């Protein structure tokens, strides 16, 4: 008989606030993973319904906005793991990743799940307080070494590394999250890379701590895909508002956008562009909370979706 195929569904459920962007993770021993499970053709009419079932079962959480990310099918990147049932043992595992957004970090204490800052897994992705030192001090040199080992691909490898990480004066492009992760994986710098391969193509080694926490199976790859997609999408669709509470100040919104992009933005220009976009509406009410002058509360104008000029938020770097 031929090798059966099993389809794994994994979800990156994102929430965010002024402190950071969070993903919902489940515990597996001392590692973590994403909520996931196997697609059951008999129970589930669509992938999305199956996914929702698994997320609910494992975290007690009901996702709102959900979209498909990517389907990974390469051999050797996924080890069948917990939660996938017996059928998956000897099957070829295919992995369909989803992105979900939610405004609140619901209480999930009854489950073996946690909300965790996604930059734990990708410390080089957070530029809110400037470019992280590890890029130029550790990652850059390690990738240069790896490039040198590339024989006739050396130039190509170097160029890819420079573009992905904004080395040697090139710009940092925040959406290239997956590209960066894949590069580190390929160079053997991601802790999970040698593990999956079995071979020792690494060539380069680094204190693993600086390379971010790994996750089970191919989940870190799915998380990288989700971050990149969300960072891009935020600019041309008003998806940030799926992450916001009903009423918020413009600074709240800015902090969330900054958390997602891993960048800091120019406050006045950010607010000006929102003004013009027609995406938000002032409520006349004010927030007392913070130190200085009270900030006006805003809400997302859902009507904007009906008006066609449905763009995302501008992201003027500051």
Partner DNA sequence: CCATATTATACTCACATTGAGCATAATTCG
Partner DNA sequence: CGAATTATGCTCAATGTGAGTATAATATGG
Contact positions toward its own copies, by CB under 8 A?
A: 2-7, 39-42, 45-47, 68, 70-71, 73-76, 87, 91-92, 94, 96, 159, 163, 166, 170-171, 173, 306, 308
Nearer to its own copies, 91 or 260 (CB): 91
Strands 5-16 and 295-300: unpaired
CA distance 56 to 119: 25
Here's the x/- map for DNA, 219-258, by CB under 7 A: it reads as ------------------------------xxx-------
The residue from 81, 173, 273, 305 that contacts DNA (CB under 7 A) is 273
Structure tokens at 117: 């800052």
| Overall residue count recorded for the chain in this entry | 318
Beta-carbon count within 10 A of 123 CB: 17
Nearer to its own copies, 171 or 198 (CB): 171
3-state secondary structure of 133: helix
CA distance 23 to 34: 8
Q: Which does residue 42 bind out of its own copies, DNA, none, counting CB within 5 to 8 angstroms by kind?
A: its own copies
CA distance 36 to 50: 10
Nearer to DNA, 134 or 263 (CB): 263
As to burial, measured by CB atoms within 10 angstroms (0-12 exposed, 13-18 middle, 19+ buried), residue 150 is middle
The residue from 269, 299, 301, 305 that contacts DNA (CB under 7 A) is 269
Q: Does 295 bind DNA (CB under 7 A)?
A: yes
Chain residues binding DNA by CB under 7 A are 249-251, 266-269, 271-273, 276, 286, 288, 290-296, 314, 316-318
């Amino acid at each position: 008989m031929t090798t059966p195929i099993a389809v794994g569904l994994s979800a990156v459920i994102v929430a965010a606030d002024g402190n950071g962007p969070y993903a919902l993770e489940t515990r597996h021993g001392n590692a973590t993973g994403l909520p996931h499970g196997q697609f059951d053709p008999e129970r589930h009419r669509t992938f999305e319904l199956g996914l929702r079932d698994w997320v609910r079962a494992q975290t007690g959480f009901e996702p709102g906005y959900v979209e498909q990310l990517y389907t990974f099918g390469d051999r050797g990147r996924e080890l069948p793991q917990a939660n996938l049932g017996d059928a998956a043992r000897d099957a070829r595992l295919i992995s369909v990743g989803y992105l979900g957004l939610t405004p609140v970090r619901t209480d999930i204490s009854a489950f073996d799940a946690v909300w965790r800052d996604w930059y734990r897994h990708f410390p080089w992705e957070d530029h809110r307080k400037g470019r992280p030192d590890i890029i130029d001090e550790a990652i850059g040199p390690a990738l240069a070494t790896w490039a040198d080992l590339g024989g006739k691909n050396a130039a190509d490898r170097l160029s890819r590394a420079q573009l992905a990480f904004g080395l040697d004066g090139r710009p940092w492009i925040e959406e290239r999250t997956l590209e960066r992760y894949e590069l580190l994986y390929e160079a053997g710098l991601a802790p999970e890379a040698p593990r999956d391969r079995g071979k020792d193509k690494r060539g380069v080694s680094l204190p693993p701590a600086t390379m971010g926490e790994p996750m089970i199976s191919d989940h870190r790859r799915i998380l990288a895909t989700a971050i990149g997609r969300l960072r891009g999408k935020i600019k041309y669709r008003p998806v940030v508002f799926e992450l916001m509470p009903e009423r918020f100040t413009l600074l709240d919104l800015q902090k969330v956008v900054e958390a997602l992009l891993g960048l800091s933005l120019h406050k006045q220009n950010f607010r000006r562009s929102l003004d013009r976009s027609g995406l938000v509406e002032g409520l006349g009410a004010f927030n007392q909370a913070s130190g200085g002058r009270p900030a006006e509360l805003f809400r997302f104008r859902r009507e904007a979706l009906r008006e066609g000029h449905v763009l995302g938020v501008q992201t003027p770097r500051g």
